[in-house]
Amino acid sequence: MRLSSRVEKIKPSETLAITAKANALRAQGRDVIGFAAGEPDFDTPVNIKNAAIKAIEEGFTKYTPVGGTDELKDAIAAKFKRDNDLEYKRSQIVVSCGAKHTLYNLAQVLFDAGDEVIIPAPYWVSYPDIVVLAGGRPVIINTQEKDGFKMKPEQLKAALTKHTRAIIINSPSNPTGAAYSQEELKAIAAVLLDKDIFIISDDIYEKIFYANFPFINIAACEPKLKDRTIVVNGVSKTYAMTGWRIGYAAGPEEIVAAINKIQSQNTSNPASIAQKAAVEALSGDQNIVDKMVSEFQRRKDYIVDALEQIPGVNCFSPEGAFYVFPNVSNIYGRSYKGRKITNSTELIDYLLDEANVAAVPGVAFGSDDHIRLSYATSLKNIEEGVKRIKDAVSKLE
């Protein structure tokens, strides 16, 4: 069958594919420990669920304005003011069906054939394909583990060309957990000040933050860049609301209007009920977030330490998000029963077959020396899963 050249240029999301594979194996009775899914294991908090139930009971079940209700836009504007010291009008905010949809819409309104989009690696698996689907060309900057997986201003300077249209900054990062400090962002901002390019700041892990400095985004750090920055965020990770599909962007009015136009021809509004839930998430009790984050931090401390104790594994300590991205390249070249492990994909397949552990190969995020494990699962699972990895790795010689 002939499919469009557009779809032939991309791959399916590897994080979702491996999560589905692990679920299918479990359904067949295999006791698989899942470190693949990038979603909180906590239930959506009860006040948020109740807001949705109330919405249904009150009949708030019809189309809303394409880009979200005024009530939700006001809650988002209040969140930006409260948390980020950024001011936006309703006309500068648009709500979509998850931050992935927001990023997709943004790429569709910004990029044309030949436009280059700078993506620091390791990157979230979907960025390059979202850019390619819009006709743009991803330009990858390889950050170094010794630099804390952060892009250096010199690297950024060297990647800029007359075709550069935008850069994507994701702090804290999926998959490394690296987060930029104010000084580091200022240095990046200094390179961008006199360049006519857009900055896409994906702040989805903003609240899942452990560093000893506060979270800040580039528009707050350098107000002169605010007119060219589009901040992307959502409720999926902070409020354990992955299934509700609410993401949003704030930025220049013209871009927001263009996203509204695109969205009016694809999904129309995000679910009315989920929008009511998102209002409660953003405006209700925020202590629930602290509780989830302290549990993530406990697990992070455990998993980093436990992975470090596996000979051949080195684990960068994340400053945010809920992933670890251990360097496993010292294991490459070893074999078990004639099966040689030479890259991250082969290691992940081996761990699934021999240890019943599901994780994601680093190559999906632009680094074949690493694998990604999500610790958004119970400490009990983490203990057992890491033990299994250790046993499987020790069999390799």
Binding site for ligand PMP (CB under 6 A): 38, 98-100, 124, 170, 174, 202, 204, 234, 236, 242, 247
HSE-up (13 A, CA, CB side) for residue 237: 27
Nearest to 121 by CA among 155, 98, 154: 155
Residues in Cβ contact with 265 at an 8 Å cutoff, skipping those fewer than 6 apart: none
Nearest to 147 by CA among 316, 342, 5: 316
Question: Interaction with ligand GLU in 99-128: which residues (CB under 6 A)?
Answer: 100, 124-126
Please state the closest distance from residue 140 (CB atom) to ligand PMP, in A.
16
Please state the closest distance from residue 281 (CB atom) to ligand PMP, in A.
12
- CA dihedral 310→313→318→321, nearest 10 degrees, is -80
| CB nearer ligand PMP, residue 274 or residue 357 | 274
Question: Interaction with ligand GLU in 233-262: which residues (CB under 6 A)?
Answer: none
16 makes contact, choosing from ligand GLU, ligand PMP, none, with CB < 5 to 8 Å by partner type, with ligand GLU
**Cα 245 to Cα 68: distance, rounded to the nearest angstrom:** 12
Please state the closest distance from residue 328 (CB atom) to ligand GLU, in A.
18
125 makes contact, choosing from ligand PMP, ligand GLU, none, with CB < 5 to 8 Å by partner type, with ligand GLU
Q: Show the tokens assigned to 175.
A: 């998959």
Binding pattern to ligand GLU, positions 323-352, x when CB under 6 A? ------------------------------
- Position 297 contacts ligand GLU (CB under 6 A): no
> What φ, ψ does residue 381 adopt, rounded to 5°?
-65, -40
Q: Residue 152, exposed/middle/buried by CB under 10 A (0-12, 13-18, 19+)? A: middle
SS3 361: strand
Please state the closest distance from residue 372 (CB atom) to ligand PMP, in A.
11
Question: Interaction with ligand GLU in 30-59: which residues (CB under 6 A)?
Answer: 37-39
Question: Interaction with ligand GLU in 147-206: which residues (CB under 6 A)?
Answer: 174
Applying CB under 6 A, which residues contact ligand GLU?
13, 15-16, 37-39, 100, 124-126, 174
